[in-house]
Structure 1
Amino acid sequence: MALEYFSGFSTSMHTISQSLLYPVLIVLAIFFIYSLITVGMMLAEYYKRRKLHLDLKNVAGLILSLTRENISNEITTVLNNVQISESHKQVLVALSQTKNVDPAFRESLALKMMEDETIMVAKKLEKTDIIAKISPAVGLMGTLIPLGPGLTALGAGDIQLLADHLMTAFDAAVLGMAAAAIAFTISKIRRRWYEEDISNLETLAESVLEVLKS
């Protein structure tokens, strides 16, 4: 009786694992294609960033030289001539409009906006981070699943069927590792870019807060 239950359980597990083969291969193909698309997007972003140049010391100096009375209009004028992202401009303009509020609230607002920008950066990196972490595991699934039928074919002496299953297993492993490597590289490069952007934004925000304090 125990052997019958074990045989039924083993058959069920085998059926479930084999039914996952095509979904796993489809997911691997999606991961790999998305990674290649993201490479193109990153290269476009790289060439766009090469044309941008932010003289942080000069801009911070301009902000510190502004008058408190008209800081909102003046900082808008300064930022229109500075090559930074629109979201960062909105943060600095929003801070410049808080000259009549409590300083403690102003600093809390600045901290909250910095956190929002950091969360936005994390969302941009989320997809490639996920692919970099789980693509090897999915590739391993795609490698192991065909080995069961492959071993069965080997026992039956069907070398051609064994070769087909091994080819599927190797292809899954290669796709998984390639997608993970590409996604990891993209995340690493973009994270360095965005951390630099956030650091620049923090410096400019501190300059605005300093003007509002004086």
Structure 2
Amino acid sequence: MSVSIPGGEFLTGSLDVISQSLTIPVLVILLIIVVISIITLGGVISEYTSRKKVPVGTVRDLIYKINSAASVDELKSIIESAEIPKSQKKVLTEIASSSALDNNSREALARKLVEYEEEKTDKTLQKTDIITRVGPTLGLMGTLIPMGPGLAALGAGDVNTLAESLTLAFNTTIVGIGSGALCYVIGKIRSGWYDRYLSDLDALSDAVLDYMNKQ
């Protein structure tokens, strides 16, 4: 029913066309989100089975070894034989190889290398963060869009169209909320892993940096 203002029929008709035209894009994006969520779930399972778990004691002992190294070559050997992820070894080795730099430049290099690792983790978490926020929103859109034709069909006594609209509405709600919830859990799990990873890297890079600055 159009509003009782001049041009009301045109305005409500335009809004109806716009809202209904969003049905296909919303459904397509929801399907893409489901696929991405499933792939991400597989990725986090694979990451869990392959990631190197580093106890606090290992980091503590490594800091002591770094501090007691007799030379830069021994420091590099300690880093290479340490039971830490390869990406951490790469950063620490690069800091240990910066003997040609002065203290300020070496600190800048270490800071940049650690920031780069932070950017990589942020990029990994960004995908799940987006789905966590967008998934339920699209699910709500997919719920409300079919309700217009469904209510109109109810007024006309068309029960079949109403049933189809309600089915579509419920399905999109489930998919949107389910994908958002799954990615929220995945994001929380990965965030804990990466916070620990960056904390270890920050402590170890500071230890290597202090050693190099004393040389």
TM-score (norm 2): 0.90
One-letter identity of the residue aligned with 2:67: L
Deviation at residue 13 of structure 1 after TM alignment: 1.5
Deviations 1:79-137 (A, max 9, x none): 33234333322211111122232212211221222211111110011100100011111
Say whether the 8 Å CA contact 1:67–1:211 is kept in structure 2. Answer: no
- Aligned partners of 1:173 and 1:137: how far apart in 2? 9
The aligned amino acid for 2:50 is K
Of 8, 13, 16, which residue of structure 2 is paired with 1:14? 16
More off after superposition, 129-138 vs 102-111? 102-111
Q: Does residue 105 in structure 1 map to residue 105 in structure 2?
A: yes
C-alpha deviation, 1:3, in angstroms: 4.6
Report SS of the residue matched to 2:7.
Answer: helix
Residue in 2 that maps onto 1:67: 70
Structure 2: which amino acid aligns with 1:190? R
Is 2:130 the counterpart of 1:122?
no
Tell me the residue number matched to 2:85. Answer: 85
Aligned pairs (5 A) from 1:1-214: 3=5, 5-49=7-51, 52-53=53-54, 55-68=58-71, 71=72, 73-214=73-214
Higher relative contact order (CA 8 A, sep 6+): 1
**Which runs of no fewer than 5 residues in structure 2 stay unpaired?**
none
Q: Secondary structure at the match of 1:34?
A: helix
Partners of 2:5 and 2:169 lie apart in 1 by 31
Secondary structure at the counterpart of residue 69 of structure 2: coil
Distance 1:140 1:96 in 2: 53
Which digits, 9 at most, give the CA deviation of each residue in 1:32-72, with x for residues without a partner?
221122111111111112x644511222222112134xx1x
Shifted more, 189-198 versus 113-122: the winner is 113-122
SS of the residue corresponding to residue 100 of structure 2 reads: coil
Structure 1 runs not aligned, ≥5 long: none
Q: Measure the CA separation in 2 of the matches of 1:154 and 1:9.
A: 23
Distance 2:83 2:131 in 1: 32
Identity %: 38
Letter in 2 for 1:167: T
What displacement does 1:75 show?
A: 3.4
CA–CA separation in structure 1 for the residues paired with 2:211 and 2:12: 72
Change in CA separation of 1:24 and 1:126 when aligned onto 2, cut-off 3 Å: same
How many aligned residue pairs are there? 209
Alpha-carbon RMSD across the aligned residues, in angstroms, is 1.7
Partner of 1:122: helix, strand, or coil? helix
SS in 2 for 1:210: helix
Q: TM-score scaled by structure 1?
A: 0.91
Letter in 2 for 1:20: L
**Paired amino acid for 1:14:** D
The CA deviation at 1:4 is 5.6
